[in-house]
Structure 1
């Protein structure tokens, strides 16, 4: 039995759609870093970015499935993602690990801010399971942001 109204479900699904777009763009930007990183730390950075995009791939699937549990279709085209995302597609000037990490850290911080806002909004809509899921995702992204920030010091 569903205790959420159609309006509540649509609001939650719209938040999740934006999150899916953000995670997908972040995934592609992380793939770009993995493919194109250069420099003396190439091997370490290449493997690190691979670990990150593998984690993001799982997150993308989970978010899309979370949308589907609301009986709403998940967006699945780049044009939709580009309309929904909070992230920017910036041209990287230097293909070294620090440049990529700065760019990705900025993106993680944007998603962290969005998650913080969204958790409060979804809690107000009384969707405990989605709120709980987003709290776990927030913690995961905060840890990745910390690692990126630590590397940049």
Structure 2
């Protein structure tokens, strides 16, 4: 006896299809920014040199490790909203607001680029809030709040290395 294909039930979580799509689109940009920052931070971890090598090597490792977890959480939220998560370099390049690093910057330039990247991710997360608030999407609001807190703190910590 052949099995019948059963259609997946429609998503009914109290957020309209239109609102879920708008939020998922915003989260896709956040995912692209987060992945781009992950890659840049990992690259800098591998290639940093100079008197602050050990400090920066360890700091960058902590940050890219956290970002590796974050991209999974963001992608899973997009999926929970019923949309595919972007997952290619081509997709990320189109969606990300963070430029790739050219060559191997100095340690100071790496720090400055990572400050800009952390702040860019924060701005992207913040830009999604109007759609999230309008849809009363508390799980996404919680995710965005956590991401913003972490990226603002990372930007501050990195920025402090450039002062004085």
Q: How would you bin the TM-score normalised by the shorter chain?
A: over 0.9
Q: 40, 47, 54: which one pairs with 1:43?
A: 54
Count of residue correspondences: 152
Residue of structure 1 equivalent to 2:43: 32
Residue of structure 1 equivalent to 2:109: 99
Distance 1:92 1:108 in 2: 20
Partners of 2:40 and 2:101 within 8 A in 1: no
Normalized against structure 1, the TM-score is what?
Answer: 0.93
Matches within 5 A, 1:141-152: 141-152=151-162
Check if 1:120 corresponds to 2:134. no
Q: 68, 81, 91: which one pairs with 1:70?
A: 81
Residue of structure 1 equivalent to 2:9: none
Residue of structure 1 equivalent to 2:6: none
Q: 118, 135, 153: which one pairs with 2:145?
A: 135
Structure in which a larger fraction of residues adopt helix: 1
Distance 1:105 1:91 in 2: 16
1:149 CA displacement: 1.1
Instruction: Identify unmatched segments of 5+ residues in structure 1.
Output: none
SS at match of 1:73: coil
CA RMSD of aligned residues (A): 1.3
Instruction: Identify unmatched segments of 5+ residues in structure 2.
Output: 1-11
More deviation, 54-63/121-130: 121-130
Distance 1:135 1:145 in 2: 15
1:125 CA displacement: 2.4
Check if 1:88 corresponds to 2:99. yes
Distance 1:45 1:34 in 2: 7
Higher Rg: 2
